[in-house]
Amino acid sequence: MALAGVGVDIVEIARMERILERTPRFARRVFTDEERAYCESTARPAAHYACRFAAREATLKALGCGFAPGVRFDDVSVSTDASGRPRVELRGRVAQVAREKGVLSVAVSLSFTREMAVANAVATTAETAPRIAEQRDPRRELAESFREARSVIDELERVTDGK
């Protein structure tokens, strides 16, 4: 049975800020056009870059592969869905690893404070995916109710016969 993988990573925002200042190519090498556009549109770009970098690391940890040979920085990226929630996108070698491990999806959560950015990732497989509740079956519920009632009656009879 495949288990869900969990990963977490934390990045110092000041360190990301220094890297971005000293090595302008870093953002182009590591982040997608969409990620750069998003981060640069915010009041604290370094915090958002740090979150996205942490998300890459957390995702790779959840998948159990890390930055192994063949894994590129852009094999994992973070976009946002229509409601603004972060969403991990897998490509290349990382997408292949996920398929091989039976991973259906990777959920990610991002957060930051003044100093730190953190990301949590959970890789879900068919065995660990939440199940949709079964449809109600009134006949089955009625049969269960009768079984319970019969059990209570049997217990009452046992108690009263023992007097």
pLDDT 10s digits, 23-67? 989 999 999 999 999 999 999 999 999 999 999 999 999 998 877
* Rounded Cα distance, 97 and 64, in Å: 9
Residue 57 marked ligand-binding:
yes
In three-state secondary structure terms, 130 is coil
Structure tokens at 119: 């990301």
Q: Cβ of 58: how many Cβ atoms within 10 Å?
A: 26
* pTM score of the predicted model: 0.75
Establish whether 74 is an annotated binding residue.
no
Burial class from Cβ neighbours inside 10 Å (0-12, 13-18, 19+) for residue 50 reads buried
Residues 108-138 pLDDT 10s: 999 999 999 999 999 998 776 666 655 677 7
Architecture of domain 5-125: Alpha-Beta Complex (3.90)
* Annotated domain spans of the chain: 5-125, 133-163
